[in-house]
Structures are given as C-alpha cells and as structure tokens.
Amino acid sequence: MTASLEEYEDVLSSEDGVVDVIKLREYAVHGIPGEVRGQVWLYLLGVVSPEKSTSEKCKKELHLHYNRLDKSLNDSSLRRRVDTAAQRIFQRHEYYRSSQLRGAVRNVLGAYLNHQPSHCTFTPTLLHLLGPLAVAIPTEPELYAALVAVRERIESLHDLERRFGEFLSLFRSVLSDVYQHFEDQELDPSAWLVSWLEGMLANELPLQAVLRLWDFYFADSVGLAMHPYVCIAIIDKCREDVEELEHLDLLTYLQRIPQLDMSEVIVNSDNARRTTDHLL
C-alpha cells in the first residue's frame, strides 16, 4: 500500500534520533511522493546516515569533499563529446530546460569523470542517469554522491555483455512471438537494448515513469537486479503496439516508450521473475 506524504515525513522527522531506513524501504517499493523523493533516495542509496547525530557532520564532509573536486572538462576531445551528447539530450528532455539543472549536471559530470577510477569513460548514459537524479536531488554534492552510488550498484551487476546475452535469452523464452517479430524486422538488439540495460530506462521512459521505477529499484540494495524482468514486463505491456510496427518505427518506439502504469509493470515484473528466475 502506498504511504502518504505525512507517513514519510513522520519517519524522516523521527524524534528518537534515527531515521528508520527499513520503513522507508518498505514504503518506497510502492512509490515516493515528489516532495520528499530526493531526501528518501539519499537514505536508500546510503549517501546520508540514518543517525541524526552524525548525518549533519557527514553532509558537511560531503560538501567539503565535492567543493575540492575539479569539475572542469579540460580535454578538448572529451568536451566536444560531452557537448554534442548534452545538446541532443537537453533538447529532448523537458526537465533540462532549467539552466540551473543543466549547470548542476555539467558540474557533477565533470567531477565524476575527473575523479572516478581511470576506467570510467564518458558515455551519454551518464547524462541519462544524471537527469532524473538531478530532478529529485537539488544540491550538487548530494547529486554527485548519488550518481556514484547508483553507478556502483549498476557495476555490481554482471558485465554488460553477459546481461545483454541473458536478457535476449529471457526475451526469447518468455515472449517468443514478440522476439520473433523483432527478428523478422531485422532489428539489431544493440540499437536499443544497450541503452535499456545501461541507463535503466532513463532515456526511454517519461520522467514520472522513471522516477516511480527508480523508487522501486533504490528501495533494496539488489533492486536493480529486477531490471531485466521490468524490461520484459514493459515489452509485454506494449506487445500490441510493437507487433504492429516495422523496423524503423519499431526502433523509434523502443527509444520513446509511452507513459505506462509503472506500478502495474513492477507487479508484472515480479510475476515474471518468480516464473523465470531459473533462466538467469
């Protein structure tokens, strides 16, 4: 059952000095009100300590650390790649109309690329992930820490090549008729599936759907492991549409998924997991 804003605020303002993160996780599975989403996400991702006696100190240290980071993109080739991707993504997503949000995203992206492990390279996926996070989390230091936490969770999954192959096997087994339609249309899976898997559908779903889905993902440390089943549930939900589309129109549809009832998708994804978990 969805918790009310008042119920969330009661947990967040706990008088015993400790925020009940377990309770927040139970609530978040069913969706988080926009007014407190960013605050709750920070607890769910482990960015903020639930111990109120230490949380302010942790926040201060987080801000001091972030403020010391180099946020500039000094490499001209990298800057061009970022600018090209940003221009395309900023034009598409309505929330990027805010110059303040765009500026925060650029700063956090620069800090992330300059100070994360050397194997981290820029891809548009980073901008896709940052957008919804920035909508919910307005301060740059916390936004930076949230991005690091989300990327760590994604990287804790199997490598992309294995996830790619496992998903196609799952797709072929569970939705064989739709899979065959994709094959008949000679649709290259990498043209759409890489973005689905790496960006957690941030670029494909409408913003409100992404936020609702990520409430579910962040509610549990292994929530992102549900992603393949969510993707299956989305394709199944949209099967009447996709089976009517041919190659280019089908690809465009998969890159611009219409608004869906994400609570229903989440329930269906759990049903899919229960019946097919042995396949992954």
Could you list the pLDDT tens digit for every one of the 280 residues in the chain?
789 999 999 999 988 889 999 999 999 999 999 999 999 999 999 999 999 888 888 889 999 999 999 999 888 999 999 999 999 999 889 888 899 999 999 999 999 999 887 557 899 999 999 999 999 999 999 999 999 999 999 999 989 999 999 999 999 999 999 999 999 999 999 999 999 999 999 999 999 999 999 999 999 878 999 999 999 999 999 999 999 999 999 999 999 999 999 999 999 999 888 887 655 5
Chain centroid offset of residue 154 CA: 9
Q: Which helix (H) or strand (E) holds 65?
A: helix 52-68
Identity of residue 191: A
What separation, in Å, do the N-terminal and C-terminal C-alpha atoms of the chain show?
A: 29
Q: Ramachandran region of residue 253, left (φ > 0), alpha (ψ -120 to 50) or beta?
A: alpha
pLDDT at position 75 is 86
Residue 257 three-state SS: coil
CA distance 86 to 215: 25
Q: Is the whole model's pTM more than 0.85, yes or no?
A: yes
CA distance 216 to 226: 9
Euclidean distance between CA atoms 245 and 129, whole angstroms = 28
Q: Which residues contact 246 (CB under 8 A, 6 or more apart)?
A: 185
The ranges assigned to domains in the chain are 5-44, 76-155, 160-279
Residue 56: its pLDDT value, please?
Answer: 84
Q: 96 CB contacts (<8 Å, ≥6 apart)? A: 89, 90, 102, 105, 131
SS3 content of the chain, % helix, strand, coil (to 5): 70, 0, 30
Q: Length of the chain, please?
A: 280
Q: Are 130 and 98 in contact (CB under 8 A)?
A: no
- What CATH number labels 160-279? 1.10.472.80
Give CA–CA dist 120/123, Å, rounded.
Answer: 9
What confidence score (pLDDT) does residue 203 get? 95
